[in-house]
Amino acid sequence: MDDSTLISSSKAGLEHMLSITEEFYSLNNTSANHQKYVLISNSLPLTTTSAILPVEFHLSLSSLNDIPSISVTPLSITSSFRFLGVWFNIKGSRDFVKKQIASKCNSFAATLRPAKLSAKQVVYFYNSVLIPKLEYRMQVTHLSASDCYAATRSVRSLVKHKANFSRSLPNPILYLSQALGLINLSSHLIQCHVNNLFLMANSSTPFIQRLFVYRLMLIQFRFLIPISPLMVDDWSFWSNMTIFKCDYIACTIASIVSTPFCLQHARFSATFPDLTLPGHTPLYSCMSPPCF
């Protein structure tokens, strides 16, 4: 049986649900492995230093259920869990994504290192097979250039080994299209995120258009920006804020600053209002980032 994930909102409600579930299993002559049940609760502290104790669920006994209780140990609130093929993290941490990316790269390098492949063949497999997998896992997550660099270290080492290059060879040479053409993960992800944002901003669906404008207005309100977020050319005032790091659209707009491209409103209308607020001098331009 597949793993069962229980998202805790009400213990009494979960006990009732588990009782019905056991009766359903009895009717269908099946059973569940209670050891595989996963409990996620947002009532745990963000920093759990002590051991997490199991939670006891008392079930209602009936002619179809003779199991009095089920004990499940909750996951730490800083842990990540998978539900219906999607990964979640209550704390909003991106550490689990970094670990997944590094694990994929290390596994890729370990698998291909003993294989009799040329450097160009390894680069082809990396660009065509591994990069789409990494892109899928990071489609709503922004990682810094240093994080991407660290995660793909084993792949660069493998390519240099297959090409009989020295380890001291500058890495940018590997990325040159005139040379091996290895895809730079950081640059590739910025391109993907910006492309997704562009498609969202120019969606043919009115609802998506209004949703995008609403998100811009929300970013403007939460970050105290007097102009449209699309017009901000320096995000250093907000880059260290947790609220910024957890905002995918804000991070994507900020990443555009490092590229030759920019997004702007083609026209102002009821759908795309002018987000410039009245005033003369933005507060963030008068203060240092820590004071702001």
Residues 127 and 42 in one domain: no
Is residue 54, in this structure, part of any structural domain at all?
A: yes
Residues 22 and 95 in one domain: no
Q: Is the pLDDT of residue 16 over 50?
A: yes
Structural domain boundaries, residue 275: 203-287
- At residue 2, the pLDDT reads 47
- At residue 21, the pLDDT reads 86
β 5-7/38-40 pair status = parallel
Residues 160 and 218 in one domain: no
* Domain termination residue (choose one: 187, 220, 244): 187
* Domain termination residue (choose one: 55, 77, 99): 77
Q: Is the pLDDT of residue 177 over 80?
A: yes
Q: Is the pLDDT of residue 166 over 50?
A: yes
Mean pLDDT, the chain, whole residue set: 80
Residue, of 87 and 27, whose pLDDT is higher: 27
Is residue 182, in this structure, part of any structural domain at all?
A: yes
Q: Is the pLDDT of residue 6 over 70?
A: no
Is residue 164, in this structure, part of any structural domain at all?
A: yes
pLDDT band at 126 (very low <50, low <70, confident <90, very high): very high
Is residue 1, in this structure, part of any structural domain at all?
A: no
Q: Is the pTM of this model over 0.75?
A: no
Per-residue CA distances from 18 to 7, 44, 84, 200, 291 (Å):
12, 22, 19, 41, 51
Give me the percent of the chain exceeding a pLDDT of 70: 83
- At residue 8, the pLDDT reads 46
Is residue 105, in this structure, part of any structural domain at all?
A: yes
Mean pLDDT of 99-108: 91
How many domains does the structure of the chain reveal?
Answer: 3
